[in-house]
Amino acid sequence: MSIFFTLCGVVSSTAQTVVSMEKEGIPVAYKVEKGDTVYYVRLREVVVHAPRKFKSKAEERQYWKLVYNVKKVYPYAKLAGRKLHELNEHYLELDSEKERKAYGKQAEESLKAEFEGELRKLTISQGRILLRLVDRETGNTTFEILKDFRGSLSAVFWQTVAKIFGSNLKTRYDPSSGEDKIIEQIIAQIDEGSI
């Protein structure tokens, strides 16, 4: 019944003025139409996921390990996106290359002091997922970020080190295929709080 009032309120709200108020501590919008008060509430979008079917116990264990790894590194990727945005804003405000270089070094030292210990505890597979999620959050691969802030020589050095350990700093995140598609589904469930 409340869905009916919600729909009525949304459909007819274009014709009349909608007023907002609090009813029992909850913000509610309403309008008066022909002497009747019609309340409506915007509902949060709910995404329903079909139960995942596994071909084997090994595949199920692999999936839940991926869920664990994504849940562990996703907050770091989100933080990296925010920090990079802040750094870029301040970096672009600086006038000289000398100031930018000094700011870059100071920011790097600050980030190292804050996160190096935690990030060193990540497994190689968690690190690989983090590299892809950084691309998801920033729109730039880790290689591109290193190249912009530390220079080409440093980016190539760290790309070589990553290759030795079977990783690639140039890896792009592709939410439409492969493991990235599964990761994207896991992230959607994390964001909505269902996993």
Q: What is the torsional sign of CA 71, 76, 77, 81?
A: positive
Structurally, the chain folds into a number of domains equal to 2
Q: What angle do CA 23, 24, 30 make, to 5 degrees?
A: 15
Same domain assignment for residues 146 and 184: yes
Same domain assignment for residues 63 and 28: no
Tell me the C-alpha distance between 85 and 122, whole Å: 24
Write out the chain's pLDDT in tens, 195 residues. Answer: 444 444 444 444 444 455 555 556 667 777 888 888 887 777 777 777 778 888 999 999 999 999 999 999 999 999 888 888 888 888 778 788 788 778 877 887 887 888 888 888 889 899 899 989 999 988 888 898 888 877 889 889 989 988 888 888 898 998 888 888 999 999 988 888 878
For residue 122, tell me if it sits in a domain.
yes
Residue 22: Cβ-neighbour burial (10 angstroms; 0-12, 13-18, 19+): exposed
At residue 19, the pLDDT reads: 53
Same domain assignment for residues 181 and 111: yes
For residue 111, tell me if it sits in a domain.
yes
Same domain assignment for residues 111 and 162: yes
For residue 168, tell me if it sits in a domain.
yes
pLDDT tens digits for range 88-104: 888 778 788 788 778 87
For residue 15, tell me if it sits in a domain.
yes
Same domain assignment for residues 29 and 115: no
For residue 155, the enclosing domain spans 57-192
pLDDT tens digits for range 132-155: 999 998 888 889 888 887 788 988
Same domain assignment for residues 36 and 79: no
Same domain assignment for residues 82 and 141: yes
For residue 8, tell me if it sits in a domain.
yes
Tell me the C-alpha distance between 136 and 84, whole Å: 13
156's tokens:
């190539």
Same domain assignment for residues 112 and 137: yes
For residue 51, tell me if it sits in a domain.
no
For residue 46, tell me if it sits in a domain.
no
